[in-house]
């Protein structure tokens, strides 16, 4: 029997966990698979092992694992595969197929543009956009976020946009913010994060400290959240995972 196991990152904040679960359940309703479960990599429950065990208990013989992550960093490449290999050792007769993160998808720039235009009154030559990712020591994350920023700029003619990061990559969000001090009338901060959590709270604190020493207008956009475009991207990744053995563990 076929199962879908969705792996979200996890957060200590109950609001962020609920947002992630509600978004995934919204997507689940569009997929006809008999067993569908949600789990978390860290900081929230159920864990990956608990989610996997639940699928087995419900009769799963093949589990398609869909990581609900924006970019492919060490969690996607190392942490989750390591856990899945351990679980497949525990259940050797169960087929495990591992899907892809959202990645550099052609629909994402349209979502980001909507977030920008909903938050900023106008964008002109005196506006700087900072696209802020979680960050990672994995160089692919930096490359991919910069590619996404470039795609937004080329699609919508934004005069100036820069990718920056909360951890693990450079420039940091704080560095990027201070580098544009007094150079633009308006700074538009776009968090490349799925849902609420401690990271967005930290961004708000950084902006508040910055505004104590700057007269610029700083606009913080919403996280990506429950957006139809994001739903379509996740559904694309689900369909890929259900219909390919390219990522099957052996």
pLDDT the model gives residue 250: 42
pLDDT-above-90 percentage for the chain = 87
Distance CA 116, CA 89 (A): 46
Average pLDDT, the chain: 93
Model confidence pLDDT, tens digit, residues 63-86: 999 999 999 999 999 999 999 999
The verdict on domain 2-102+227-242 having CATH code 3.40.50.1400 is yes
Q: What is the mean pLDDT of residues 28-53?
A: 96
Nearest residue to 12 (alpha-carbon basis) of 51, 45, 44? 44
pTM of the model: 0.92
User: Does the pLDDT value for residue 249 go beyond 80?
Assistant: no
Distance CA 43, CA 23 (A): 18
Domain boundaries, the chain: 2-102+227-242, 108-220
Fold of the domain spanning 108-220: Rossmann fold (3.40.50)
Model confidence pLDDT, tens digit, residues 136-193: 999 999 999 999 999 999 999 999 999 999 999 999 999 999 999 989 999 999 999 9
The domains spanning 2-102+227-242 and 108-220 adopt the same CATH topology: yes
pLDDT the model gives residue 124: 82
């Amino acid at each position: 029997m076929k199962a879908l196991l969705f792996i979200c990152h996890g957060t200590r904040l109950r609001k962020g966990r609920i947002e992630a679960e509600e978004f995934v359940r919204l997507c689940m309703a569009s997929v006809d698979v008999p067993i569908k479960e949600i789990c978390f990599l860290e900081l929230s429950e159920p864990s990956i092992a608990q989610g996997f065990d639940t699928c087995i208990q419900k009769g799963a013989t093949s589990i398609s694992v869909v990581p609900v992550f924006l970019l492919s960093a060490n969690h996607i490449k190392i942490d989750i595969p390591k856990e899945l290999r351990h679980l497949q050792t525990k259940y050797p007769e169960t087929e495990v197929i591992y899907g892809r993160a959202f990645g550099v998808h052609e629909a994402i720039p349209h979502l980001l543009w909507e977030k920008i235009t909903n938050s900023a009154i106008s964008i002109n030559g005196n506006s700087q956009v900072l696209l802020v990712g979680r960050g990672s020591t994995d160089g692919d994350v930096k490359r991919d976020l910069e590619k996404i920023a470039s795609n937004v700029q080329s699609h919508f003619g934004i005069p100036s946009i820069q990718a920056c990061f909360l951890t693990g990559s450079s420039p940091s969000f704080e560095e990027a913010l201070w580098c544009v001090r007094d150079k633009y009338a308006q700074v538009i901060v776009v968090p490349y994060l799925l849902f609420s959590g401690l990271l967005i709270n930290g961004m708000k604190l950084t902006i508040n400290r910055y505004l104590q020493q700057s007269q610029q207008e700083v606009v913080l956009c919403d996280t990506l959240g429950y957006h139809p475009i994001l739903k379509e991207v996740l559904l694309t990744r689900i369909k890929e995972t259900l219909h390919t053995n390219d990522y099957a563990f052996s």
